[in-house]
């Protein structure tokens, strides 16, 4: 358990946002004994898990693609103190890079959602060359070029995405992955800022039911506006 926690702590400490040693992170490890109850070990860290930024710091136009920056790795433990630099391994996101970092994270999130719907070109628009933009621009398989080819209503919400049919232990199963139509329209058009505002406003309104009678199968809705639905085909 000590090895597990220490290894996880190293990964958490490898990225610093703002002042070194002030990134809030909770590291945990799970112990599954043979007879005793499951035990969860926690390494507590200061903070409530929220990254607080001063007014005006890190503001950025999320609709603009982030440029490829060659930011040198390394964390200066003496950064901001005026002392001699003390470099250790890791990655440091400094305040002057907050805007760029916000765009990188927001666009990577948008790319993941677009890939979830089965769209290659919409995904590519949110990636840089280093992130594999070229892979989604190239024709690799008929399935990767599918964009907005299927629409379903789940719990009364219209979703747009793609579906796949496969066999599970000999049983034909259909899986649908998509995003709410309004949110998909914004992401497909490159309106990341608008998508994030809408998704944030709707995060507490998404249906919680895990079964949709009309779909006739289990469904999983996420607060980012995405859905995964599975059903058995006759």
Q: Per DSSP, what are the bridge partners of residue 183?
A: none
Q: Compute CA 7 distance to the chain's CA centroid, rounded to the nearest angstrom.
A: 23
pTM: 0.77
Q: What is the pLDDT of residue 144?
A: 47
Q: Of 19-23, 101-105, 202-206, 228-232, which gets the smallest average pLDDT? A: 19-23
Strands across the sheet with 217-221, in order? 150-154, 157-168, 171-180, 226-232, 217-221, 211-212
Q: Map residue 63 onto helix, strand or coil.
A: coil
In sequence order, what are the beta bridge partners of 27?
A: 43
Q: Are strands 171-180 and 157-168 parallel, antiparallel or unpaired?
A: antiparallel
What would the mean pLDDT of 146-151 be, rounded to a whole number? 69
Q: Which residue has the tokens 């599918």?
A: 146
Q: Where are the domains of the chain?
A: 2-106
Residue 176 near residue 150, CB atoms below 8 Å: yes
Question: Exposed, middle or buried, 169 (CB in 10 Å: 0-12/13-18/19+)?
Answer: exposed
Query: Can you tell me the mean pLDDT for 182-191?
Result: 93
Q: What is the pLDDT of residues 63-78, one digit of tens each?
A: 988 888 888 888 888 8
**Backbone phi and psi for residue 157, each to the nearest 5 degrees, phi listed first:** -105, 130
For residue 23, what pLDDT is reported?
53
Q: H-type helices in 21-152, by residue range?
A: 98-116, 120-124, 133-137
pLDDT, tens only, 14-28: 888 777 666 556 677
């Amino acid at each position: 358990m000590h090895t597990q926690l220490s290894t996880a702590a190293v990964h958490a400490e490898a990225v610093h946002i703002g002042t070194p040693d002030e990134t809030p992170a909770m590291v945990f490890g799970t112990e599954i004994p043979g007879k005793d109850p499951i035990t969860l070990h926690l390494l507590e860290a200061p903070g409530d898990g929220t990254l607080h930024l001063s007014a005006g710091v890190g503001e950025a136009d999320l609709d603009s693609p982030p440029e490829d920056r060659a930011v040198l790795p390394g964390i200066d433990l003496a950064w901001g103190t005026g002392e001699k630099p003390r470099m250790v391994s890791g990655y440091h996101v400094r305040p002057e890079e907050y805007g760029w970092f916000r765009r990188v994270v927001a666009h990577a999130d948008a790319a993941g959602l677009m890939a979830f719907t089965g769209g290659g070109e919409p995904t590519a628009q949110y990636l840089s060359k280093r992130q594999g933009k070229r892979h989604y621009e190239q024709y690799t398989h008929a399935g990767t070029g599918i964009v907005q080819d299927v629409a379903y209503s789940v719990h009364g919400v219209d979703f747009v995405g793609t579906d796949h049919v496969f066999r599970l232990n000999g049983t034909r199963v259909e899986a649908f992955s998509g995003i709410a139509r309004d949110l998909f329209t914004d992401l497909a058009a490159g309106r990341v800022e608008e998508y994030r505002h809408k998704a944030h406003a709707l995060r507490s309104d998404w249906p919680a039911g895990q079964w949709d009678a009309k779909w006739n199968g289990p469904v999983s809705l996420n607060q980012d506006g995405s859905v995964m639905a599975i059903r058995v085909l006759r």
